[in-house]
């Protein structure tokens, strides 16, 4: 009898406390006009998501230096011209002797830096000619120069690496690049100007200079003819010296002119020829030493320019990194403006969720990122709201409560399509049973203690 009395007393007390508003106040969304504003509740459906997302909102943008790279805009400095070479003429040499180089293995021409290649395309514009510049280049006979990094820049296709490749290999490389860009690869490739490989010729010739190595093998007699021939009238004493691979070879001019085996001697890129009609061996050695010195000068000068470019890129990269780190630090300290939404109610973690830069976030992003997802024990999936205030100053007290009923979990797919705006409030209501659980927890602990004591008596 005493136990029944205690339980009835506890029940009446809980009802009294609940009626007086002392035990527990549950949050919920109440439509209509009140002191808080004019609240209207709109369901989130496949159609209403489109309406909600149409409302103007522009995500904050990252500063421009997040889109820059350190390599843009860097260029090599202008090359420094090498000094001109001059050698004095010496006394008449002794009768020449033959020293031929070892035979060269046949090799295909490989495209190098400085070569000019030409893309030939049909004139009907149905293939690669549709690219800006390619058809014009074919019509005007303008080619593409292989740059220092071994590439050519083809409009729309981009930069393609062809240095060190044969013509067939380069065609295959360009063919694949066109396919990668989904461009009809109907074209032919030819080398318009050979600039990367040559043979230097000096001495007693009509026009000392360099002769380019082309697709056709370059022979000794053809190379001499290309510089105007030998000026010496005495073929018996004239000597042709060949510097190749750090070694020196020589052939009498008479043998070059009369013996086909000597005249048809194939030359290779990097060879140096010197025609000596009255020079001593040290004079030829001085000439080749001079050529080597000039080559080393050009190589060192180019290396210096590359190092300067690398230093410029490193400084720019450091500057960009410092700017990005400063922005991140200011963002952590709250010194940079940032848009947020707020999560409250029966959710895994009530928090403030920062909206991302350069893109929009969705309701699902906030619920399952910052919010930790819905609580299976306390969250009511049928009562998920996104509270959004009006941006119109004339309707500043207007609040739209977008209601997502996820009682059917298929509706959660709509949460992945619903875009969030700055200052949205996401509210998840409690389960009805959770409401009563909160009421019971709010009852005075002393009531429970007194009830237990009464039972014990």
**CATH classification at residue 129:** 3.30.1950.10
The pLDDT tens digits along the chain (457 residues) read 554 554 455 555 555 444 444 455 667 888 888 877 899 999 999 999 999 999 899 999 988 878 777 765 555 556 666 566 555 445 555 666 889 999 888 889 999 999 999 987 665 544 444 455 554 444 434 589 999 999 998 888 889 999 999 999 999 999 999 898 888 788 888 998 998 999 999 988 999 999 999 999 999 999 999 999 888 656 777 889 999 988 999 988 888 888 898 999 999 999 999 988 755 555 666 777 877 887 888 888 888 888 888 888 888 888 888 888 888 888 888 888 899 999 998 888 888 999 999 999 999 999 998 778 887 777 888 999 999 998 777 777 889 999 999 889 888 999 999 999 999 999 998 887 555 555 556 555 555 555 555 555 5
pLDDT for 378 = 79
Residues 188 and 202 in one domain: no
Residues 173 and 207 in one domain: no
Alpha helices in 212-280 (DSSP H): 220-226, 253-258, 260-263
pTM over 0.85: no
Residues 187 and 205 in one domain: no
Give the domain extent around 224: 198-279
Residues 120 and 176 in one domain: yes
Please tell me the distance from the alpha carbon of residue 36 to that of residue 453, in angstroms, as a whole number.
46
Q: What beta strand segments (E) does 35-177 contain?
A: 37-43, 116-120, 144-145, 151-154, 158-161
Q: Give the residues across from 390 on adjacent strands.
A: none
**58 burial type by CB count under 10 A (0-12 exposed, 13-18 middle, 19+ buried):** exposed
Q: Does residue 98 fall inside a structural domain?
A: no
Q: Does residue 447 fall inside a structural domain?
A: yes
The contacts of residue 58 (CB under 8 Å, 6+ apart) are none
For the chain, the domain total comes to 3
pLDDT for 128 = 47
Residues 275 and 229 in one domain: yes
Please tell me the distance from the alpha carbon of residue 443 to that of residue 221, in angstroms, as a whole number.
113
**Does residue 215 contact residue 167 with C-beta atoms inside 8 Å?**
yes
Residues 189 and 202 in one domain: no
Using alpha carbons, select from 373, 332, 333 the residue that is nearest to residue 350: 373
Q: Does residue 66 fall inside a structural domain?
A: no
> Which H or E element spans position 386?
strand 379-389
Using alpha carbons, select from 171, 238, 177 the residue that is nearest to residue 205: 238
Residues 220 and 240 in one domain: yes
Using alpha carbons, select from 272, 274, 271, 293 the residue that is nearest to residue 282: 274
pLDDT for 392 = 78
**CATH classification at residue 268:** 3.10.560.10
> Which H or E element spans position 379?
strand 379-389
């Amino acid at each position: 009898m005493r136990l029944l009395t205690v339980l009835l007393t506890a029940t009446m007390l809980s009802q009294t406390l609940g009626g007086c508003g002392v035990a527990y106040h549950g949050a919920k969304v109440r439509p209509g006009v009140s002191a808080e504003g004019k609240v209207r509740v709109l369901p989130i459906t496949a159609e209403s998501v489109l309406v909600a997302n149409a409302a103007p909102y522009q995500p904050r943008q990252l500063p421009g230096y997040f889109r820059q790279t350190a390599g843009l805009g860097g260029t090599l400095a202008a090359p420094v011209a090498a000094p001109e070479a001059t050698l004095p003429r010496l006394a008449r040499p002794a009768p020449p002797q033959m020293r031929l180089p070892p035979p060269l293995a046949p090799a295909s021409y490989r495209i190098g830096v400085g070569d000019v290649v030409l893309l030939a395309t049909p004139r009907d514009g149905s293939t690669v000619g549709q690219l800006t510049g390619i058809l014009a280049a074919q019509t005007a006979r303008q080619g593409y120069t292989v740059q220092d990094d071994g590439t050519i820049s083809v409009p729309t296709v981009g930069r393609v690496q062809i240095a060190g490749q044969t013509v067939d290999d380069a065609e295959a490389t360009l063919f694949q690049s066109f396919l990668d860009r989904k461009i009809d690869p109907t074209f032919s490739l030819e080398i318009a100007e050979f600039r990367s490989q040559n043979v230097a010729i000096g001495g007693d010739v009509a026009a000392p200079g360099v002769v380019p190595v082309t697709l056709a093998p370059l022979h000794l007699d053809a190379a001499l003819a290309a510089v105007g021939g030998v000026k010496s009238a005495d073929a018996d004493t004239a000597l042709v010296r060949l510097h190749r691979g750090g070694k020196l070879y020589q052939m009498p001019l008479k043998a070059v002119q009369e013996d086909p085996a000597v005249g048809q001697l194939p030359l290779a890129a990097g060879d140096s020829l010197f025609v000596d009609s009255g020079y001593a061996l040290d004079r030829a050695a001085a000439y080749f030493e001079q050529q080597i010195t000039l080559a080393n000068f050009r190589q060192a000068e180019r290396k210096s320019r590359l190092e300067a470019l690398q230093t410029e890129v490193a400084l720019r990269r450091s500057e960009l990194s410092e700017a990005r780190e400063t922005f991140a630090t200011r963002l952590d300290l709250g010194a940079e403006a940032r848009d947020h939404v707020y999560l409250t109610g029966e959710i895994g973690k009530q928090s403030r969720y920062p909206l991302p830069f350069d893109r929009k976030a969705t309701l699902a992003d906030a619920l399952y990122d910052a919010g930790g997802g819905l609580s299976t024990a306390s969250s009511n999936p049928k009562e998920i709201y996104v509270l959004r205030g009006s941006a119109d100053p004339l309707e500043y007290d207007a609040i739209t409560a977008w209601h997502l009923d996820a009682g059917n979990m298929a509706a959660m797919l709509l949460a992945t399509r619903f875009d969030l705006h700055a200052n949205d409030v996401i509210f998840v209501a409690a389960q009805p049973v959770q409401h009563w659980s909160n009421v019971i927890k709010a009852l005075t602990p002393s009531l429970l203690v007194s009830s237990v004591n009464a039972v014990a008596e």
